[in-house]
Structure 1
């Protein structure tokens, strides 16, 4: 087993090693055939010529075999000439082995255009040999016999080389296809990760940033009045209650998101739905907004798809948060309506006056990240709507 492995990996482990070993083995086999005087047509050989006259041509043929991979057609042409010269000396099976190997290598290594030419030459050689035999012998049976021999000697190595070549090409195509599938899977995985990251960013922004903004707004409201103002104690208590409610909501949302990210066995929390809109309106009113609701009450709406229901809730949450941070006056109008098979949500407030670049809106202590409109648009488009 060790000798076989050494022969396979060390001797024939490279293309050059295989070419050299093929030439050496062919030369040794040819030497044995010459020694035992296995010839094709002994009656063509001069009886005064010894059998070893085939050896120089055999050596040249083995040298030509070393170039069969780089110049397959040239090597085949030279080998054919050497075989013709050998036939004039009686013809040895040793040179026939050289030609068979060169023909197989030409079918395997030449270009596609060269393969077409090789087929044409092979057909012409078989047909020409048969016609020549018929013209010389005038014997149909002998002609058919010689034509079949030519077909076996020329067609077999040619067919074998083309079959191996086709199988190699199919193997390369299969490897390229597998590589393409692997790249496609990697791209899909990267796209899925990117979409998941975008979803997580939206949820973090909508679920937590809005509540934290409410905390900042209520804290600022508690600090806005002087300590000696008679309304200060009541305002402070109201602001602290709103701060606590927003903080508790933020913690609940964060725990729910952490549970989803950890992927535990606990059941996933139900997503926020539009039926919880009264809680958002109450929090906005506690923040100082004058919210006017028009349209059907959220609990009177028909059953909505979960994704649509959740997206509408988050968009309403972000819109009320933006109104609390940026509106010119605390007046906000929320209009909810069923529009055919769709849901229309409109949140309106007076626009604030233009402000200088780099300056925060007056009267607020909650900086904006500039992602609110983007996340609202992504949520609406994610369920087939528009913002």
Structure 2
């Protein structure tokens, strides 16, 4: 159970209240010096002044120690009261803790002077034993609170310094981390641009050139070779566009606005995705069908991108590995989650030895896992099933945008 905490103003009020009530109780019991000769009402003014000064002990340290010193001196002659003495020591402690360093030096000097003067007077007009007792008592009243306040203040300042240093260290570490991430993104962008994008660009250029040669030779549009060249060119151009989009996202180091031309694809483009797959799958006897249920609404950008990539990778796998038949894509939009199901004809052993086999499965599983979703894929009878469940809202803020 969490303990209630008081505000600084409430603490000052509590100290003043308890000091006043304790002092009144001692006065009622006549527990003060010379109680037989001094009437009870004579000790009340000093007690009231001390209690009132406790209310401004943090904000008016000069006033509290000045007025409090006079009230304490008066209380010595009107009946020294323990509650009055304790509240005066608290005022000295607060003046050092919340006042200026100059205030601390002044109180050290005045406290030492008070101890010296009082002990000297007692030594002159009394004996040495009384002088020693006065030294001890005056030290406890005038110097001990000052020493304690000075020690606590130094510890607080040291703690503040250490906390500031820790915050600066954390800030520098975060800046170093961001610079490292930005440098890695820039390196990846350069490699994608210099290697992969160049290869895709070369494929698109050669496909375009081959189409031109076919047209000059007056090959018919429905010629399988011409259609294949068209599919190669279209997919290479599309891959090049997505590669440039990816390069733009990598070069956007965060904090600034990304170029709109690099907007991440989402499920609004799934129809075009299926149309391309349909065109590419005609030669192998594949037919594609999309069914959607529920309200699509607005999806978080990482969720929409992950869903698009999972559908895209599933269709690519179907084109590479599936046998002739129907590929069914189902998108189920639910209030809390998005369910993706892709069923395609299963050919046992197909594509197992191809370079990069299973890499797409790993990528889809990672995308779903980063968003707090689930992913499963595998054969079920004569069908290869892909199942993914993505939460519509991001699980944590740190995962946002990592899909």
TM-score by length of 1: 0.53
Alignment of 1:235-274 (within 5 A): none
Alignment of 1:14-53 (within 5 A): 14-40=7-33, 42=34, 47=37, 49-53=38-42
Aligned with 2:195 (options 201, 207, 231):
207
Q: Which residue of 2 aligns with 1:88?
A: 77
Q: Secondary structure at the match of 2:30?
A: coil
Q: Which residue of 2 aligns with 1:182?
A: 170
Structure 1 gaps, min length 5: 230-235, 265-387
- Shift in CA distance, 108/259, structure 1 to aligned 2, threshold 3 Å: farther
Structure 2 gaps, min length 5: 219-224, 241-315, 317-353, 367-403
Q: What do residues 99-139 of structure 1 show as CA deviations (whole Å, max 9, x unaligned)?
A: 111111112111122112222222222222222222333x3
- Shift in CA distance, 255/174, structure 1 to aligned 2, threshold 3 Å: farther
Distance 2:122 2:39 in 1: 28
Q: Secondary structure at the match of 2:72?
A: helix
Alignment of 1:67-146 (within 5 A): 67-137=56-126, 139-146=127-134
Q: What do residues 58-108 of structure 1 show as CA deviations (whole Å, max 9, x unaligned)?
A: 112211211111101211110110111122223222321221111111121
Q: Which residue of 2 aligns with 1:166?
A: 154
Q: Which residue of 2 aligns with 1:339?
A: none
Q: How many residues align?
A: 240
Q: Is the 8 A contact 1:208 1:254 kept in 2?
A: no
- Shift in CA distance, 163/21, structure 1 to aligned 2, threshold 3 Å: same
CA shift, 1:207, in A, is 1.5
Q: Is the 8 A contact 2:27 2:40 kept in 1?
A: yes
Q: Secondary structure at the match of 1:123?
A: helix
Q: Is the 8 A contact 1:208 1:253 kept in 2?
A: no
Q: Which residue of 1 aligns with 2:140?
A: 152
Distance 2:63 2:15 in 1: 18
Higher strand share: 2
Distance 2:188 2:73 in 1: 79
- Shift in CA distance, 180/210, structure 1 to aligned 2, threshold 3 Å: same
CA shift, 1:262, in A, is 8.2
CA shift, 1:33, in A, is 1.8
Distance 2:9 2:196 in 1: 68
Aligned with 2:48 (options 29, 44, 59):
59
Alignment of 1:236-315 (within 5 A): none
Q: Secondary structure at the match of 1:131?
A: helix
Distance 2:44 2:217 in 1: 122
Distance 2:201 2:62 in 1: 80
- Shift in CA distance, 29/46, structure 1 to aligned 2, threshold 3 Å: closer
Q: Is the 8 A contact 2:104 2:146 kept in 1?
A: no
Larger relative contact order (Cα-Cα within 8 Å, sequence gap ≥ 6): 1
Distance 2:165 2:68 in 1: 39
Distance 2:31 2:44 in 1: 13
- Shift in CA distance, 104/209, structure 1 to aligned 2, threshold 3 Å: same
CA shift, 1:158, in A, is 1.8
- Which entry has the higher C-alpha Rg, 1 or 2? 1
Q: Secondary structure at the match of 2:79?
A: coil
- Shift in CA distance, 125/261, structure 1 to aligned 2, threshold 3 Å: farther
- Shift in CA distance, 253/181, structure 1 to aligned 2, threshold 3 Å: farther
TM-align CA RMSD: 3.8
Q: Is the 8 A contact 2:43 2:78 kept in 1?
A: yes
CA shift, 1:162, in A, is 2.3
Q: What do residues 165-192 of structure 1 show as CA deviations (whole Å, max 9, x unaligned)?
A: 2333233333323332332232223222
Q: What do residues 29-58 of structure 1 show as CA deviations (whole Å, max 9, x unaligned)?
A: 111222222224x2xx882x4123101221
Distance 2:85 2:124 in 1: 24
Distance 1:126 1:261 in 2: 80
